Structure 1
């Protein structure tokens, strides 16, 4: 089972201040839009999402079908397969945004320590 691209999505108080901080330690803007309240920062193979006003907690994020550069990969484990696997392991799905039989969709779970995990497929 391959969960795809990994990043941590940080709930930040001030996007500009957070951007400046992460740039000081070697990250560069990779994607996103400050006017929409989010940036994806990259340092080598490490991705950090900065999100202002979108959620309350930091989130572990996996993107099936993408590598660490947000490039499509084939083959990949579709989000629908992953959801079925999680459920078969007794993991509760806390948010289910699965739509259709293919393409972009997502679902979320919570780990035993209360950390949100988002499985968010874009392809």
Structure 2
């Protein structure tokens, strides 16, 4: 099962302080909008999202259809197919992708320790 590009989305208290901290670790701005309180930062193949005031917990994030440079893949497993396979495996969902649509969609599952996992397809 290919889940796509991986990143961790961090719920931060002070996005400017977090940005400065991760820059010291070698991360550079890759996307987002500081004035909207969210940034995507990258160090090689490693991606973190910084989100102030948008959610309560850190989230593991997968993006079907993207590589680690947020470039569209020619071939990938659609988020709705991933959802169907996970349902067949007995995974329970917090939110589900609308299976009657095509294109961008997402779902959220939670691991046994309460960690949210967002599978968010942008293409």
TM-score, normalised by the number of residues in structure 2: 0.97
Q: Please, which runs of 5 or more residues in structure 2 have no aligned partner? A: none
1:47 alignment counterpart: 47
Structure 1 residue 98, shift from structure 2 partner: 2.7
1:46-99 superposed Cα distances (whole Å, 9 cap, x missing partner): 000000000000000000000000000021000000000110110001112436
Q: Please give the residue correspondences for 1:77-116 in structure 2 after superposition, counting only pairs within 5 Å.
A: 77-98=77-98, 100-116=100-116
2:29 paired with 1:29: yes
1:17 alignment counterpart: 17
Structure 1 residue 37, shift from structure 2 partner: 1.1
Q: Which deviates further from its counterpart, 99-108 or 5-14? A: 99-108
1:63 alignment counterpart: 63
TM-score, normalised by the number of residues in structure 1: 0.97
Question: In the aligned structure 2, how far is the partner of 1:66 from the partner of 1:98?
Answer: 20
* SS of alignment partner, residue 20 of structure 2: helix
Question: In the aligned structure 2, how far is the partner of 1:112 from the partner of 1:29?
Answer: 32
**Aligned structure 1 segments of 4 or more residues deviating by more than 3 angstroms:** none
Question: In the aligned structure 2, how far is the partner of 1:4 from the partner of 1:33?
Answer: 23
* SS of alignment partner, residue 22 of structure 1: helix
